[in-house]
Homo-oligomer: A and B are copies of this chain.
C-alpha cells in the first residue's frame, strides 16, 4: 500500500500520547487497514469513550464522536442503525470497554451489529494516571491497589466468544502490520468484530511491556488454529504465560442486526422519508 493512501487518514492533530505508547501502533494499524480496504474517510465514523486510547478519533481523518467514558458502544450502535452505510469503528481502552462499559460490550455482541471494536488493552487506567484496570493480572500493584490486585482479570476473548461475537481476534501494538491485517479482516467481516490489542502503557504498566509480549506472542494462523471452532477458540483464549496467541480466534457468519431488522429492509434509516401526514392513516386507530 502506498504511503499516500495511509496519508488519507492522517489528521491535522498530532497524537499526544507518551512517546512509545502502544496506541501509536494501533493508530498506524487502523490507518493501514483503512488503506487496505480503501474506504473513503467520509464513510468512516470512529466512535470512542474517554481514556488515552479513546483520544484516537481526534488523530484519524474521518468522522468521529469522542463521547463519554464507557458509552462508545451504544453511541456507535445508534449511529450504525441510523446510517447502516457507514463503516463504524469503535476505539477505546480496557477500562472504558471492559470496566465501566462491560454491560454494553456483552449486549452489543449478542446483537451482532456490523461494528468493529478495537480495544487498546494495557491493564491500567492510563489517562487517570495509572489505577488498576479489569485486565490487570492478579498481584498487579497500582496507586489504587498498592497491595496488589486480588481480583481475577477479565478474559475479553472468552467473554466475546460466549457472548455471540462473530469475529474475535487479538493483535499486538508491537506488530502493526499484522494488526492492520487483523483490523482489515475485522472491518470487512459482516457483523460484530472484536480486536483486542495488547497496547503497552509505557508510563504506568511496567509488567505488560513490549518486552513482556514480544517473546510470548505466537500467531494463531501459524499454529494450525481452526477459526471456525468455538471450542478451540475458547481453549486458546486461556493460553497465557510462555505463549500468548494473537490473530483471529474465531469467525462465523450470522445475519447482522441490520439485516434482520424489519425497518432497515427499506434501506438506511436516514434515507427513509418521514411518514405522510395523512389523517386517514395516522388517526384512524384513535376513533
Contacts and interface: CB of A to CB of B under 8 A. Distances in A.
Given A158-B162, A162-B158, A162-B162, A152 B110 contact: yes
A267 interface: no
Contact of A150 (B101, B234, B260): B260
A102 B110 contact: no
A163 B153 contact: no
A236 interface: no
Nearest to A146: B262
Given A162-B158, A163-B159, A234-B234, A151 B257 contact: yes
Interface size class of A (residues with CB under 8 A): 20 to 34
Contacts of A112: 151-152
Contacts of A254: 152
A103 B102 CA distance: 5
Number of copies: 2
Contacts of A102: 102-103, 106-107
Contacts of A285: none
Nearest to A263: B147
Nearest to A235: B231
A154 interface: yes
A154 B110 contact: yes
A261 interface: yes
Interface string A196-240: 000000000000000000000000000000000001001100000
26 contacts: A101-B103, A102-B103, A102-B106, A102-B107, A103-B103, A106-B106, A106-B154, A110-B134, A110-B151, A110-B152, A110-B153, A110-B154, A112-B151, A150-B260, A150-B261, A152-B254, A154-B163, A155-B162, A158-B162, A159-B159, A159-B162, A159-B163, A161-B162, A162-B162, A162-B234, A234-B234
Which 8 pairs between the two chains have the least Cβ-Cβ distance? A103-B103, A158-B162, A150-B260, A102-B103, A110-B152, A152-B164, A110-B151, A111-B151
